[in-house]
Structure 1
Amino acid sequence: MEALSCMMKRALDKGLYRGLKCGSEGPVLSHLLYADDVIFLEEWTTLNALNLSRILRCFYLVSGLGINLSKCCVFGTEVNGFEKSQLAMVLGCRVGDFPFTHIGLMVGRNMKGVNAWGPVVELFRKRLTRWKAKQLSFGGRVTVPEGVMDKLERLRRLFFWGGSEEKAKMNWVAWDKIMAPIEYGGLGLGRLRDVNVSLLAKWWWRFKNEKGRLWWKDDRVVWLGDKVGGFSVRDIKLKIVANVYTEPEFVFDWNRLVPRKVSFVAWRAVLDRLPTFVALAKRNIPVRSNLCPVCDELEASVEHIFISCGLAQSLWCVISQWCKMPDFFLFSFRDLLEVHKYLRLSSIKANILQAVCLIATWCLWKKRNDLVHSGVPIQLPGLVQEIKVLGFLWVKNRGKMTSLTWENWCRFKV
């Protein structure tokens, strides 16, 4: 397409083609290129149209790239329908009407209205369909008018929790918490509004500082975001985030040795946002009993399922012995997430121990669900074996510990 640009520039210089002049002192525009899409801009004359047709014919003969004129349209402003039809006949294309969509963007419509953003919302809806949400785990899902931004965020929220516009599912964690950066205790999905403002600021920066551009004005603006005064979208996003969120007392420590879906269960557990019997009852969802399905003694809360239940205590005792660690003294789920920090371990071994605790949490929760929904009893030896197998596969491959053998892993020689 660079050859076409050169031909159009030459035609402008020779006076064979007359483009549109931008203001009294601005440049003359003849065409706009994006990949293989072209918009030609010209004065409304039959001679201009004929010359454009000849230029496109020459381009075809030189490059071999033909243009399907039957898919092209002529758009005109302040001209009647008859004039549009006449020019369309000269070029051999169709008559188009405003507004129209070009490379996904609406052209010729007032974009301040919410309804004008319908195609964008529809694109979101198609991309974030319910069947895609069902195929992905939680770990894998991971200036516009105000009303439009709210619609888009709602579609993201429905997709994340696996619901649809016809039937929403329960949102166990506040959406603001999910969008928050990881360092602020969230999942790091980010707010669309922050991205939008940051990108608009980038255009504002270019408008003020890039000489030779169509939009340039002769005034200088300095960005104080960094020492050298250069603008950065990342910097402005960080400043927006710092003004929106406050640092929490506890920040979940995500571990790269395990899949995100594994850590996600622990992240929800520390927030007390897992669908335990107690949590379901608080949300007025009927349950047969609040008691733990394993011991049938105390209420099945997060703390009981993972810490105080007899099965959980036996599990942590076996894991501490396998990892050659002192017995874990746990009073809360948060203690479990931080146990690796209070033992005198190398950074590698501490990271592996944390991964083992996360895997054990995930496996225990999965086994508990199998018991509740399918009546499959939980056997401690089988649970421990599953933790060891998954831990070996994930730690060896995700941690790139190619020399790690199953024998050494079973002895926790890492």
Structure 2
Amino acid sequence: MEANPRNLLIVSEVLSNFASLSGLRVNDDKCLFVPISIHESAFSQIASILKCQAKDLPITYLGLPLSIRRPRKIHFQPLISAFQRKLNGWKARFLSLGGRLILVKSVLTALPLHYMQVLKLPPWLLKHLEGIRRRFFWKGKDKCLGGHCLVNWSKCCLPKENGGLGILDLQRQNQALLMKWLWKLKHEPTSVWSSTVQLLYRTTDINDLSICGTSYGLTDILQQGPLFNLSFVHAIGNFPATWKLTPNGIFSSASVYQFISNTGVLSKFHPFLWKMKSPPRVKIFLWLLLQDRLLTQQNLIMRGWPSATSCSNCNGGFIESADHLFLQCQYAISVWSLVQMRFKLPLLDFTLDIGDFWLSLRIPSIKDWDIIWAAASWNIWKARNKRIFSSVDTSPYLLLKEICSCVRSWNDHA
């Protein structure tokens, strides 16, 4: 309201009448007024009429920093603290990668959404929040060296169909959410938002607003205009305007995010990997295996980490690469031979790489091949780790029992 006695008295009287009619009284101790471009000499008069204290901008309003200037770092501290409170309550070291992935996607990614719907988050904050999510996912700790991240975080944030884990990229999600306000300007002229912009700037045209001086918040929203125009179809004749990224022509932030995140390069494993009947931790293991990102001896040497120089399973002088460990090692061949007989599989081609080996037998006549391949690969990896870290040897026959147990269990719980 305007800071003159008449307006202040009217508001005070409205609140008083409301209290007498409803029995709900305003708690003056919890109220404050925010003076904007008002001389301090008028503060005491305003306070006596409204019966509350003054507070300078910025303030927290509906959980967000409200200011006529861009928020500073200190104003985003509540968001950072919310991340830390969540992490402090989780026992990350007891969680598998699958469990951490669920928490990253469902909790840590959701925390900043309230901010991102209204504010364009500064680059330093996006980098900081992405670092928190990355460290929690890979190590479950506050610190995580680059070598601990088996796959580049930008790859993890790609959609699953493009070979990623489907974790939302915060910068792209922020961009998609802000575009909602442009849609309202174009397609919802009677909304409160459009009416307010019309009242302040005498126009809701995106191009006109872009060349006139606006608030920092509206300026950030208008910066999404070029991308918005790529996705928006103007009204033709008497037909209403439509959004061409959705079948029903109605705007959705999800459609924008999908549009700007899609690399155009589809993963040949995506249609089968994430629909497989297996636990989440196994799917992530297979995702790493198919990209050759498991910490085999070959990858450890490439990273400059200490490692043995020959395969521990066969002692044949071969360096332990993914294809050797899972297909070409004598131990692996023995295991696969037993699996072939147990599940009546056709002839196996061990000259293929691990991905083509899996896809080569994905035919309708071989039932449960996806689960068999996943269970065999998972248990070969576990047997390898037991041999290295616990000095426990697992015979191919015993490993076959473990594979069969996994196949039954995963089928039963699918």
Q: When the two structures are superposed, what TM-score results if normalisation uses the length of structure 2?
A: 0.73
Aligned mates of 2:6, 2:329 — CA distance in 1: 81
Q: Hey, what does 2:319 align to over in structure 1? A: 299
Q: Hey, what does 1:47 align to over in structure 2? A: 9
Aligned mates of 2:244, 2:390 — CA distance in 1: 60
Q: Hey, what does 1:162 align to over in structure 2? A: 139
Aligned mates of 1:231, 1:158 — CA distance in 2: 34
Q: Match for 1:337 among 358, 369, 381?
A: 358
Aligned mates of 2:97, 2:326 — CA distance in 1: 21
Q: Hey, what does 2:209 align to over in structure 1? A: none
Give the superposition deviation at 1:293. 2.0
Aligned mates of 1:387, 1:126 — CA distance in 2: 40
Q: Match for 2:400 among 376, 384, 391?
A: 384
Q: Hey, what does 2:178 align to over in structure 1? A: 200
- Pair 1:172 & 2:157 matched: no
Deviation per residue, 1:217-271 (Å, 9 max, x gap): 56676333356643232332232123x4533566573234111210111111121
Aligned mates of 1:371, 1:127 — CA distance in 2: 37
Q: 1:382 to 1:228 in 2, by over 3 A?
A: closer
Deviation per residue, 1:96-143 (Å, 9 max, x gap): 332122333111153376665443344334435595543432123323
- Pair 1:185 & 2:204 matched: no
Q: Hey, what does 2:413 align to over in structure 1? A: 397
Give the superposition deviation at 1:367. 2.5
Aligned mates of 1:272, 1:240 — CA distance in 2: 27
Report if the CA contact (8 A) 2:158-2:165 is conserved. Answer: yes
Amino acid paired to 1:296: N
Q: Match for 1:314 among 314, 334, 347?
A: 334
Deviation per residue, 1:20-48 (Å, 9 max, x gap): 7xxxxxxxxxxxxxxxxxxxx99885524
Sequence identity of aligned pairs in percent? 28
Q: Hey, what does 2:252 align to over in structure 1? A: 232
Report if the CA contact (8 A) 2:350-2:357 is conserved. Answer: yes
Give the superposition deviation at 1:68. 5.0
Q: 1:43 to 1:86 in 2, by over 3 A?
A: closer
Q: Please, what is the CA RMSD of the aligned residues?
A: 3.2
**Secondary structure class of the residue paired with 1:106:** strand
Deviation per residue, 1:165-185 (Å, 9 max, x gap): 445461111112111111111
Aligned mates of 1:206, 1:363 — CA distance in 2: 54
The structure where helix makes up a greater share of residues is 2
Q: 1:152 to 1:183 in 2, by over 3 A?
A: same
Report if the CA contact (8 A) 1:74-1:94 is conserved. Answer: yes
Aligned mates of 2:244, 2:11 — CA distance in 1: 49
Report if the CA contact (8 A) 1:270-1:333 is conserved. Answer: yes
Aligned mates of 1:195, 1:290 — CA distance in 2: 44
In structure 2, stretches of 5+ residues that fail to align are 102-119, 195-202, 206-233, 236-240
Give the superposition deviation at 1:60. 5.6
Bigger CA drift: 250-259 or 189-198? Answer: 250-259
In structure 1, stretches of 5+ residues that fail to align are 1-18, 21-40, 399-414
**Secondary structure class of the residue paired with 1:266:** helix
Give the superposition deviation at 1:284. 0.9
**Secondary structure class of the residue paired with 2:277:** coil
Report if the CA contact (8 A) 1:276-1:301 is conserved. Answer: yes
**Secondary structure class of the residue paired with 1:341:** coil
Report if the CA contact (8 A) 2:310-2:320 is conserved. Answer: yes
Amino acid paired to 1:260: P
Number of aligned pairs? 350
Aligned mates of 1:58, 1:386 — CA distance in 2: 74
Give the superposition deviation at 1:375. 1.9
Q: 1:176 to 1:131 in 2, by over 3 A?
A: same
Amino acid paired to 1:239: F
Q: Match for 2:66 among 88, 107, 112?
A: 107
Give the superposition deviation at 1:391. 2.4
Give the superposition deviation at 1:370. 2.2
Aligned mates of 2:159, 2:6 — CA distance in 1: 52
**Secondary structure class of the residue paired with 1:101:** strand
Q: 1:355 to 1:81 in 2, by over 3 A?
A: farther
Aligned mates of 2:6, 2:303 — CA distance in 1: 66
